[in-house]
Amino acid sequence: MNPIVVAAVSLLALINFRLLGGSRLVPIIHGAALQGALLALVGIALRELDTAETALAVGTFLVKGFVLPTLLLRALRQVEIRREIEPLVGYNVSLLVGAAALAIAAMLGGRIAEITTTHEPLMITISLFTMSTGLFLIVARRKAVTQALGYLIFENGIYGLGIAVASGEPLLVEAGILLDLFVAVFVMGIIIFHIQHDFSHIDIDRLVVPDEVPETVREGDPS
Amino acid sequence: MIAAPILLPLILAGLAFVTPSRRLREVWLLGAALGHAAIVALLAVDRPTPSAHAWLGLDDLGLLVLAIVSLLFAGAAVYSVGYLRREPLEPHTDNEEGELFSNEPEAVFVGCFLLFLSTMSLVTLSRHMGLLWVGVEATTLASAPLIYFHRHHRSLEATWKYLLVCSVGIGFALLGNVALVASAAGHESTALDLEGMIKIAPQLNRDWLQASFLLFLVGYGTKMGLAPMHTWLPDAHSESPSPVSALLSGALLNCAFLGILRAYQILDAAGMSELARGPLRAFGLFSMAVGAFFIVRQTDFKRMLAYSSVEHMGVIAFGVGIGGAAIFGSMLHALSHSLAKATLFLVAGNILARYGTKHAEDVRGAVETQQKTAVLWVAGLFAITGMPPFALFLSEFTIVRAAITFQPWLAVLFLILLAVAFIAMMAVGLPMTLGRAPKDISRSSEPASSIWPPIAFITLLLVLGLYIPAPIRELLEGAAGLIGGP
């Protein structure tokens, strides 16, 4: 692996820690976007691609790096939530869990690399770490937006593992997977919008999904 | 021709989204149901010869699930026409918590309903593991808006849970695909093509292959509702409109199981089926236990049916895990469970419409207020709990008999769990039909569209229980033969 790629892959791991330790949602979305875009670039750098495959990798770069984050940022603007309050697992503990996950991923990555002769142990490790980061965010955070982000990060990890161990999936299938991911995040965005929109104006006492109460209602007016 | 079951509903779905008139949308809906059934019948009679490495194709296993999907969709479509006509267009009061809510636009509902049919057909016709994955995830996305038809917070929560849990679950199945490709390193040309994988199965890397099966089992098992990954299922089934519940439980769960069976086929060809059967038995029995446990003292009759689905998915997985003759039993069970559960969900919809509650305790004297529905409900309960002469008796009997020769104590455990579910379902379900009905419940006659689909299903179930016609037997045997049955 050339040093620039190693640096990029290491950056992916650092981004995971940023995602685990942050409470403000906009930077987390930016982090996930950067991660997706980097992964697509690493995919281009690590494999020999023909024209159509390169086109798909560029498509992945655009979708993961720009389209999906834009969808989530839009949902976020509509529901007027800025940060994750009262996560189920605190940020410091989350970082520790991340460190443990990285250690386990490194051990597993080495083992997996042994039975796969051709590919990169580092990439496998980081992909496993990214997947566990995504899964952890889904279970340890309350807000729908953060859970959707967790799903996106989980998918990033799968994509990374695909780069590392599985080459030669047909293009149409990869395009289909990308389309499914796009629609999934799109539908999630709509639901996040409904969670806020439909229940804030009907009856404020029956704002029954307490996880999605906007900050101003939760914390009182700070001024 | 082979793509017609996917394309027809896809095109009509597009039309339904933009059609403003309800009449015309009903034509698209019923047309799709009828057309789809006709195409499937044609395909069944005159099976197109499979070409090597084609992405779409129809074998006995696919045809079995496709036929179930088509049949159930036809019933659900007829039911939906009447259902949608009776749903109020303006905001109305939620009968559980008294808040106001409105419905999703009908065009969106009908469009997604048809998309759902199209994506399920794609799953059954896929001859390529990657395409199969795309199809299964697409079924999730097409059906999520259906669960959120009644726009109140409980259905919203159920939709969110469904979307997230299933998407993550299916993410594991994607990992299964990655592992499968990795197992075939060096045989790139056939990567993920089912036919090709089966052909070269003995040369595949065994570690990767086993890992891929476990990932598929967990991934598609989530969608199939195997415990402990079933958490989305009770909410989604109880909050969605009844025709949607019927399709989710009767058709969708089988599609997810098909994904597991495709992976099983590859493992079987590699001579590793024993490694797959153990986990199938374990997940099967655990699902049966969880299902039976939650049916006991269940207060919500739609949730009861949902947990019964978890239980029966366990039965099907267990049967395949036993192997031998039990595989035929599992195939028959998949077919008959779908018919019985669709009957029950549609009938539960009738009860819910009349009584305005899902609490079993508040429903009394259904025999008095809606006679036909009450009779169907009791018949459905007897069918689903495996009483003769319905077909589920036959399938469960086949599985038990094979289990006794395999491991007697497994058979005993299996029977105990079935008995618990039987007693619990009767204890909740039977009192609903008896007793004195509340005075304010209407006794008007019932609309035909809500009665005939369940009658058709239960009749079919009765016929299958008494005598399985030769073509259906051949289909079931052919399907069982593909996954190592006799």
Q: What is the pLDDT of residues A95-126, one digit of tens each?
A: 999 999 999 998 888 888 777 765 678 888 99
Q: Least CB-CB distance to A151: which of B168, B181, B188?
A: B168
Is residue B76 exposed (0-12), middle (13-18) or buried (19+ Cβ within 10 Å)?
buried
For chain B, residues with pLDDT lower than 70 are: 188-191
A128 contact residues in B (CB cutoff 8 A): none
pTM value surpassing 0.80: yes
CB contact under 8 A, B153 and A169: no
A155 contact residues in B (CB cutoff 8 A): 171
pLDDT at position A199: 58
CB contact under 8 A, B192 and A165: no
d(CA A4, nearest CA chain B) in Å: 26
* Residues 110-129, chain A, touching B (beta carbon < 8 A): 115-118
Q: Above pLDDT 70, what percent of chain A?
A: 83
Q: Least CB-CB distance to B141: which of A117, A170, A183?
A: A183
B144 contact residues in A (CB cutoff 8 A): 187, 191
pLDDT tens track for A162-194: 888 776 677 778 888 888 899 999 888 888 888
Cβ pair A68, A152 in contact under 8 A: yes
Neighbouring-strand partners of residue B103: B150
Residues B347 and B366: their CA atoms lie apart, in Å, by 11
The mean pLDDT of A190-216, rounded to a whole number, is 54
pLDDT at position A171: 76
pLDDT at position A205: 38
Q: Least CB-CB distance to A180: which of B141, B160, B179?
A: B141
CB contact under 8 A, A168 and B181: yes
Q: Enumerate residues 6+ apart whose C-beta is below 8 A from B171.
A: A151, A154, A155, A158, B219
Q: Least CB-CB distance to A202: which of B99, B163, B171?
A: B99
Neighbouring-strand partners of residue B341: none
d(CA A158, nearest CA chain B) in Å: 6
Domain residue spans in chain B? 273-486
d(CA B173, nearest CA chain A) in Å: 10
Does position A158 have pLDDT exceeding 50, yes or no? yes
DSSP string covering chain A, please? --HHHHHHHHHHHHHHHHHHH--BHHHHHHHHHHHHHHHHHHHHHHS---HHHHHHHHHHHHIIIIIHHHHHHHHHHHHT--B--S-SS-HHHHHHHHHHHHHHHHHHHHHHHHHSSSS-HHHHHHHHHHHHHHHHHHHH---HHHHHHHHHHHHHHHHHHHHHH-----HHHHHHHHHHHHHHHHHHHHHHHHHHHHHHSS-GGG---GGG--HHHHH----
pLDDT at position B190: 63
Does the CB of A147 have a partner CB in chain B at under 8 Å?
A: yes
pLDDT at position A168: 64
Residues B397 and B170: their CA atoms lie apart, in Å, by 32
Q: Least CB-CB distance to B207: which of A115, A174, A176?
A: A115
Per-chain mean pLDDT for chain A: 81
Does position A212 have pLDDT exceeding 70, yes or no? no
CB contact under 8 A, A116 and B182: yes
Q: Least CB-CB distance to A165: which of B101, B160, B178?
A: B178
d(CA B165, nearest CA chain A) in Å: 10
Query: How many Å is the maximal CA-CA distance in chain A?
Result: 61
pLDDT tens track for B197-240: 898 889 888 988 999 999 999 999 999 999 899 999 999 999 99
Mutate to test the interface with B, among A155, A163, A208, A213 (most CBs of B within 10 A): A208
Cβ pair B244, B148 in contact under 8 A: no
Does the CB of A158 have a partner CB in chain B at under 8 Å?
A: yes
